[in-house]
Amino acid sequence: MGIIGKLFIVGTVLVGLYLPSEAKPVSEKDISVTSGRGSQSIPESKFREIFNDYLHRQFGKERSDIVLSSMKVLGNKPVPKGAVSFQVFQKDKRRLLGQIRLIAVVSVDRIVQNKVRISGWVDVFEGVVCATRDLSKGEIIGQDDLFLKRKNISKQSSNILTDMREALGFMAKHNIKKNSPLKEWMVERPPVVDKGDVVKILAESGGLRVTVPGTILEKGYVGESIRVQNTMSLKKIYARVIDSHTVRVDF
């Protein structure tokens, strides 16, 4: 190699040593790292916190009564740096139990940047109304016939009773086993009057007031219009139930 060639190699090495770093070629990987310096990532733990807060507000229960499991977060991408805020919407509001899907709208400095899908299984524990003994069809349910037992209502039907007042004083429509949770279809209000009961039929018009004896032809509740037979004329009419002894004909 001649003298000119050797000088060219030495010069190239020296130039490479003293060039500033910005002069180096930039790969696609380097570009993504650089742009990432102006962004921030939201940890999944934050979305779990958001999910739990949403459930707590919706149910109004203690956090210990709500258990979130099998949570998944989809679409959680880095967002620009700034003040992050969230808005949460339920994707399917048919029932706030079991598998729940939420949409978390992520904003930075009040500008929407992303929509993150969150899903998880929600177990809710609550006191459920149960029978203290076997109840027979037609029995009127009293205070001593009921107790509350903490159960996972996520695995129960939606019509399960959680308030004793929903069963107290009602009548069992079916036989109910001891310790069984009560459901809406198991109980009904006891009728105020029943078929065959003898009542007073009251009719009023202006200052005129007339009462005649009558016989109830079907069970009825207060305020309900039912069929009644006038015992004197044997005419069948509709009258409104006032109490267990009186029905009223409205003109």
pLDDT by residue (tens digit) across 203-233?
988 788 899 999 999 999 988 999 999 999 9
Torsion region of 33: left, alpha or beta (phi above 0 gives left; psi -120 to 50 gives alpha): alpha
Compute the average pLDDT of residues 6-22.
Answer: 37
Residue 226 tokens read as 């039912």
Compute the average pLDDT of residues 23-34.
Answer: 29
Residues 85, 42: Cα–Cα separation, whole Å:
11
Q: Which value, in Å, is the radius of gyration of the alpha carbons in the chain? A: 37
The mean predicted confidence, pLDDT, of the chain is 82
- Of the pLDDT bands very low, low, confident and very high (cuts 50, 70, 90), residue 42 is very high
Compute the average pLDDT of residues 26-47.
Answer: 60
Whether the pLDDT of residue 36 is over 90: the answer is no
- Please identify which residue in the block is written with the tokens 């009548």: 171
Asked if 202 contacts 246 with a C-beta cutoff of 8 angstroms, the reply is: yes
**Residue 204 or 33, more confident:** 204
Q: Please, what are the domains in the chain?
A: 44-123 (3.10.129.10), 125-188 (3.90.1210.10), 198-249 (2.30.30.760)
Q: Could you tell me which residues come within 8 angstroms of residue 21 by beta carbon, excluding any fewer than 6 positions away?
A: none
pLDDT given for residue 93 in this prediction: 66
- Please identify which residue in the block is written with the tokens 């004909």: 249
Render pLDDT for 68-102 as a digit per residue (tens, 0 to 9). 899 999 999 999 999 999 999 887 766 667 888 99
Compute the average pLDDT of residues 3-22.
Answer: 38
Closest CA to 212 of 248, 158, 169: 248
Q: Could you tell me which residues come within 8 angstroms of residue 84 by beta carbon, excluding any fewer than 6 positions away?
A: 40, 42, 106, 107, 108
Compute the average pLDDT of residues 177-199.
Answer: 93
Residues 220, 140: Cα–Cα separation, whole Å:
16
CA triple 243-247-251, angle to 5 deg? 135
Query: What percentage of the chain carries pLDDT values higher than 70?
Result: 84
- Of the pLDDT bands very low, low, confident and very high (cuts 50, 70, 90), residue 55 is confident
DSSP H or E run through 34: helix 28-36
**Lowest mean pLDDT across 25-34, 110-119, 158-167, 217-226:** 25-34
pLDDT given for residue 23 in this prediction: 33
- Please identify which residue in the block is written with the tokens 């060639």: 5
pLDDT given for residue 28 in this prediction: 28
DSSP state of 243: S
Residues 66, 107: Cα–Cα separation, whole Å:
27
- Of the pLDDT bands very low, low, confident and very high (cuts 50, 70, 90), residue 64 is confident
Compute the average pLDDT of residues 187-195.
Answer: 91
